[in-house]
Structure 1
Amino acid sequence: MKNKRNIVVVVTLVLFGVFFLRAIQQKEQTIKEGRLVLFELAPVDPRSLMQGDYMQLNYAINEQLRASGIDRTTLNKRGFVIVSLDQQHRATFKTISSKSLAELPLGDSLLPVKYFNWDGFTLSVGAESYFFQEGKDTLFDRAKYGGLRIDSEGNSVLIGLYDEELKIIE
């Protein structure tokens, strides 16, 4: 009986490790091969006593969604926000869809980004916090865009914050 339990524990740990490593591999691949998209930020207080210096990210796309007139009662918990990209990779909200990726009418300048809708009308299209070294808060006060890499499935990874001149802040 004890041997069976040990086997179950070992198999569970191995499976957990495989899934964890696969998730890391997918994020690394998105960072390497994903398309750069700059989402305008609506800044929030960049300080937390417990976590150190960080910036809570609020993407301006949420305001664009509210202004679009889309009925919030029909908004699914998960789906795609369709954005258009300009020459500088800046995203502009176009529409929202709960269709599968294969069903979306996309062109060269339109890109689907997976969203999660937790509170009824705020989209989470990427990381919601950006942590930085203590004492660098004034440097990140000038952040205007969140730079995300987005893969062909609509998955996103935050790679950094960008200033008004579209240069990464380091």
Structure 2
Amino acid sequence: MRNKLLLFYTLLLVLCFGGYAAYTQHALKNAQTFYLQMAPLDPLALLSGEYMQINYAFEQDVFGINAPVKQVTLYVDERGVAGRAKTDKPLVIPVHQVTARLPHQFYFQEGTAKKYDTAAYAQLKRLQDGRFLISALADKDLKLL
């Protein structure tokens, strides 16, 4: 009896993890994709591995003012680049204190830092639950690195 119960719970656990993995892949495939221009980058290597600290160009404009903001509205152009110039595709980004609620670190494989020297844009995906994820970095021509 115990062996059957153990087998049942093991299969249930495998199905749960498999379902979550499938859901995550589906959410990433169907997520809204856009690019944000990056400000100067700061590559670092810590115990967690190599990563790049990313600042976004729009943050310098928005957070340079004294009035606190709760959200920032950017607009996505025909190339998929989000910026301050108004288009018919608004993108609302929530703000926490004085930084946008966007990921600011991009982790990469150790020893491949030179590959990202020409990075000018971060490719982000907006998941259905409102979170953002950096999926890749791109050069000035939006070619993925």
Please indicate, yes or no, whether the TM-score normalized by the shorter chain is above 0.5.
Answer: yes
Instruction: Determine the structure 2 residue equivalent to 1:121.
Output: 98
The percentage of aligned residue pairs carrying the same residue is: 25
Instruction: Determine the structure 2 residue equivalent to 1:140.
Output: 116
Q: Is the aligned partner of 1:90 residue 2:96?
A: no
RMSD: 3.0
Indicate how the Cα distance of structure 1 residues 129 and 26 shifts in structure 2: closer, same or farther if over 3 A, else same: farther
Alpha-carbon distance in structure 1 between the residues aligned to 2:101 and 2:88: 23
Alpha-carbon distance in structure 1 between the residues aligned to 2:128 and 2:46: 38
Indicate how the Cα distance of structure 1 residues 132 and 144 shifts in structure 2: closer, same or farther if over 3 A, else same: same
Alpha-carbon distance in structure 2 between the residues aligned to 1:149 and 1:66: 23
1:108, distance to aligned residue in structure 2 (A): 4.0
Instruction: Determine the structure 1 residue equivalent to 2:62.
Output: 65
> Which structure carries more relative contact order (alpha carbon 8 Å, separation 6+)?
1
Question: How many residue pairs get matched?
Answer: 132
Partner of residue 162 from structure 1, selected from 134, 138, 142: 138
Alpha-carbon distance in structure 2 between the residues aligned to 1:25 and 1:146: 25
TM-score by length of 2: 0.72
Mark the runs of 5 or more structure 1 residues left unpaired by the alignment.
1-9, 95-106
Alpha-carbon distance in structure 2 between the residues aligned to 1:124 and 1:28: 22
Secondary structure of the 1:146 match is strand
Mark the runs of 5 or more structure 2 residues left unpaired by the alignment.
1-8
**Contact 1:143–1:161 (CA<8 Å) still a contact in 2?**
yes
